[in-house]
Chains A and B, each alone.
Chain A
Amino acid sequence: MAIDKETARKVARLARLAIPEERLEPLARELSSILGWIEQLNEVDVEGVEPMTSTVAMKLPMREDVLEEGPTGGGQPDKVVANAPRTEDHFFIVPKVVE
């Protein structure tokens, strides 16, 4: 399936990527060429085949519903915001979301 310029614009929007107008056309061509190559998958008979989601047959492990010690635990606000571009009092600062 060929991707046109408008589809490329829509997908870029869904992916939250600002693509300059002049790049949309070439990008659509690149993606169409990759998808064209992928379409050989239509030759494979997949009738009745279960889609594969994991290579290892195992049940998703459960853990105790408690706050853990260490990096996955709580109570570490300094560490949580340490790498943020803008913070204040352990909050992330972003442009206004609601008018």
Chain B
Amino acid sequence: MTDITDLTLAELRDALKRKKVSSLEATGAYLANIEKAKDLNAFVTVTAEKARTMAAACDARLAKGEARPLEGVPLAIKDLFCTEDTLTTAGSHILDGFRPKYESTVTSQLWRDGAVMLGKLNMDEFAMGSSNETSYYGPVVNPWRSKGSNRQLTPGGSSGGSSASVAARLCAAATATDTGGSIRQPASLTATVGVKPTYGRCSRWGIVAFASSLDQAGPIARDVRDAAIMLRSMAGHDPKDSTSVDRPVPDYEAALGQSVKGMRVGVPKEYRVDGMPQEIEALWAKGAEWLKEAGCEIVEISLPLTKYALPVYYIVAPAEASSNLARYDGVRYGLRARGEHDITAMYEKTRAEGFGEEVKRRIMIGTYVLSAGYYDAYYLRAQKVRKRIFDEMMAAFGQCDLILTPSTPSAAFALGEKSDDPVQMYLNDVFTVTANLAGLPGVSVPAGLTGDGLPLGLQLLARPFDEETMFRGAYALEKAAGFAARPEVWWG
């Protein structure tokens, strides 16, 4: 039979049920791939022993014909999700040695449905970054390279370990989180499918907090069907998260085959930035053409406030982060600086040693915009502009059912290429961040390759809690694009 790790999650799920393959075999195959892929630096922790124990239990259930929805499927978890007794770092030095005594709701639902945990994935520190370069554990390397080059490229961020490990077949699928684009941008840069659901769809309980009004968990997977299967298990109401919404979780996989005939797809004319490569513009036009051929009606829409979304984000997110990250004080968990006899000095030194430069920068911005005298000028104004952006998006959904945009303004860039200029780095999220500010669901689907052979994604946005329409559109886009390229294996 073919390599087990070449099976999609859906194929593996079905092969396990039909006993063509065991969970222990699948888990062993993925652990072997992980072992060979150390150069990618995708994992912070590999939980091989735990994975085999879980897989054996799954095989016992499969033998009895008691398979749950993800029975025996090996997954990898972004290191922002608390996993009981397993090191959870958020990519930060300040969480050194932190082994939570509880399990995040999202991961507990994956285990409830029979999935196997392979390990914890590298990420930008506290999910603050778009290239994985802010991780205390070093950058993840993109499995994709430009044609004829061996330059190391970014897998995107902050969920760079998730995108790289799915693209390199180190897991069947991965969890990720998205605060400004951290699922969709890395998915776009690695030819994977990344879904950020509606705010409130997945519980945030047990996920290390970055910006609580924007953070949402979602999957990164190999195709749209796999992402739909993952989201169904990850989503659902949780009384432990007061912003989690009590609505039934639909069977997203069942929505995939449904026709998109008559669906209205909005194309916002403002989604263009200076210096955006012509090939992205062309791919975007092609995407609209594909959906039109599938029976959709293409509508030109206008979202003039788009350019203000990133500046709003860089007030709201750092403000929330500066509050959320106040908890890292060296007292209750993680790192504590040595040799301080004064408590304020202990706090200051612990935080100075434990946080990286980008995290410190954002804490400083957040503290500044919330401080007396500046609150109204920055934070309050940003919250008002956010409301106007939300209203503008909702008005757009009066004219259309989905919005089609490029996922990113460029393909994968080289590690080190943008790390000196924070604002240039922030611009990576220019097309994704609006969905976070407005709480909308969004998906990035692999759609084409650049002339250099690097993947590019297209993004679809939908109305709040209308992930089914989003999945239908994404499936149609995926079918039309017929993207089949894979990175050449240079690692291991």
Contacts and interface: CB of A to CB of B under 8 A. Distances in A.
Given A17-B348, A19-B352, A44-B305, A51 B380 contact: yes
B367 A83 contact: no
Interface residues of B, number: 72
Contact of A44 (B329, B340, B361, B388): B388
A23 to B, nearest CB: 9
B273 interface: no
Contact of B365 (A31, A44, A63): A31
Contacts of B331: 84-85, 92, 94
Contacts of B97: 83
Interface stretch (B149-157, B228-236, B237-245, B477-485): B237-245
Given A18-B351, A86-B336, A60 B308 contact: no
B344 A51 contact: no
Contacts of A42: 381
B461 to A, nearest CB: 13
A38 B311 CA distance: 5
B239 to A, nearest CB: 7
A7 B200 CA distance: 37
A15 B314 contact: no
Interface centre among A15, A31, A53, A97 (most CB of B within 10 A): A15
Contact of B352 (A17, A58, A79): A17
Nearest to A83: B333
Given A46-B381, A83-B332, A53 B352 contact: no
Given A18-B351, A18-B352, A52-B390, A8 B314 contact: no
A34 B346 contact: no
B383 A52 contact: yes
A80 B331 CA distance: 12
Contacts of A56: 199-200, 243, 245, 439, 464
B368 A11 contact: yes
A61 interface: yes
Contacts of A92: 331-332
Interface string B376-387: 011011111111
Contacts of B57: none
A14 B371 contact: yes
Contacts of A83: 97-101, 332-334
A76 B365 CA distance: 37
A15 to B, nearest CB: 4
Contacts of A15: 322, 351, 363-364, 367
A85 B422 CA distance: 33
Interface in A44-94: 44, 46, 49-56, 58, 60-61, 63, 71-72, 76, 79-86, 92, 94
B101 A71 contact: yes
Contacts of B374: 1
Nearest to A62: B242
B285 interface: no
Given A41-B311, A46-B381, A86-B336, A17 B363 contact: yes
Contacts of B422: 30, 33-34
Interface in B427-472: 437-439, 464
Contacts of A30: 361, 422
Nearest to A55: B439
B340 A95 contact: yes
Contacts of A72: 240
A52 B239 contact: no
18 contacts: A11-B367, A17-B348, A18-B351, A30-B361, A34-B423, A35-B365, A39-B311, A41-B311, A41-B312, A46-B384, A50-B384, A51-B386, A55-B390, A71-B102, A81-B332, A83-B100, A85-B331, A96-B341
Given A52-B384, A55-B213, A84-B333, 12 more contacts: A11-B367, A17-B355, A34-B423, A44-B385, A52-B386, A56-B243, A56-B439, A71-B103, A85-B334, A94-B346, A95-B342, A97-B343
Top-8 shortest CB links A-B: A55-B439, A51-B383, A83-B333, A52-B387, A46-B384, A85-B336, A18-B348, A71-B102
